[in-house]
Amino acid sequence: MKYLKTCALRSGSSGNSILVSSAHSTLLFDAGITGKGLAHALEKLCLNPDRLKGILITHEHWDHTSGLGVLLRRYKVPLYINKDTLRALSPSIGKFDPNLINIFHSWEEFQIDDFAIKPFPVSHDAEDPVGFTVSNGLGSVGICTDLGYADETVYQALRGVDICYLEANYDPELLKVGSYPLYLKERIAGHKGHLSNDECARACLRLLEQGTERIILSHLSNENNFPHLALLTVNDALVEAGANEGIDYKLLTARRYDLSETQELKA
């Protein structure tokens, strides 16, 4: 049977990893998870580690790569990464088989087994940060977190994806009154920082117009957001624009320390 499943294993500043799998293969987007955590997650999802066909990296920040070295050594899975991100990571990643490295370029689609993957650039304070779309002919998933703002590039890349992980990092009021130092507040809210709930809501509206029906609010801040607040802000904006929850769209939040609800598309 043909299917496409996706599950966020971790989401937020303490770690990010998203699985996408088909009947043939499984891909891991970002490696902000321990070897033990990944093994446990695969077991829970009844996925054999042998089916892991690639680890794809969005950018070098620790919350996306803390487990990368261990995972590469343990599972010997091919790594897909761009040149500048690899260079930034090299000092901290440890030794691994260089034959595992595959370099990608933004907008250039490549294939891993039955998956077509397209990386696209996003605005974030890393060397060459990207988001991804991944499809297997049955459906498609967009992965788009860690971005200061959503521009036309982002909308062009995510046009028509069935399921989208989109960042809803912070509530502007909570960030303003919170305990973070000013420089950090400015970094988060800046053009190379993170997407707020309100910015996310505007982006969700656009995604809905472009045909996306399931959106998973992701990379929520522990300090400056709450899952119910992110959901409420985005939902209110979508309902106000005339969309009907459950009919036009489904909205969820990704969990910080545990597996999120698996999303599935079937033939």
Q: Mask of contacts with Zn ion, 167-206, x by CB under 5 A?
A: ----------------------------------------
Q: Would you give the end-to-end CA distance of the chain in angstroms?
A: 7
63 or 171, CB closer to Zn ion? 63
Q: How far is the CB of 13 from Zn ion (least distance, A)?
A: 6
Q: Where are the alpha helices (DSSP H) in 7-104?
A: 35-44, 62-65, 68-75, 83-93
214 or 219, CB closer to Zn ion? 219
Q: Using the structure block, give the residue that is written with the tokens 């790569």.
A: 65
Indicate the residue whose CB is closest to Zn ion.
61
3-state secondary structure of 250: strand
User: Is residue 194 a contact partner of residue 146, using CB atoms and an 8 Å limit?
Assistant: yes
Stretch that binds Zn ion, among 102-110, 139-147, 184-192, 230-238 (CB under 5 A): 139-147
Binding-residue total with Zn ion (CB under 5 A): 3
Q: How far is the CB of 130 from Zn ion (least distance, A)?
A: 11
Stretch that binds Zn ion, among 49-57, 142-150, 172-180, 249-257 (CB under 5 A): 142-150
Q: How far is the CB of 55 from Zn ion (least distance, A)?
A: 16
* Residues in 41-100 at the binding interface with Zn ion, rule: CB under 5 A: 61, 63
Q: How far is the CB of 245 from Zn ion (least distance, A)?
A: 27
Q: How far is the CB of 113 from Zn ion (least distance, A)?
A: 27
53 or 61, CB closer to Zn ion? 61
Residue 146 interacts with Zn ion (CB under 5 A)?
A: yes
Alpha carbons 150 and 266: distance in angstroms, whole number? 30
Alpha carbons 169 and 183: distance in angstroms, whole number? 17
Question: Within 10 A of 152 (CB to CB), how many other CB atoms are there?
Answer: 8
Q: How far is the CB of 187 from Zn ion (least distance, A)?
A: 10
4 or 38, CB closer to Zn ion? 38
168 or 238, CB closer to Zn ion? 168
- Please spell the DSSP secondary structure of 88-157, one letter per residue: HHHHHH----GGGEEE--TT--EEETTEEEEEEE--SSSSS-EEEEEE-SS-EEEEE-S-S---HHHHHH
> Would you give the distance in Å from CA 264 to the centre of its chain?
16
149 or 249, CB closer to Zn ion? 149
Question: Within 10 A of 49 (CB to CB), how many other CB atoms are there?
Answer: 14
Packing angle of the helix pair 197-209, 227-240 (nearest 10 deg): 40
Q: How far is the CB of 2 from Zn ion (least distance, A)?
A: 32
Q: Contact residues for Zn ion (CB under 5 A)?
A: 61, 63, 146
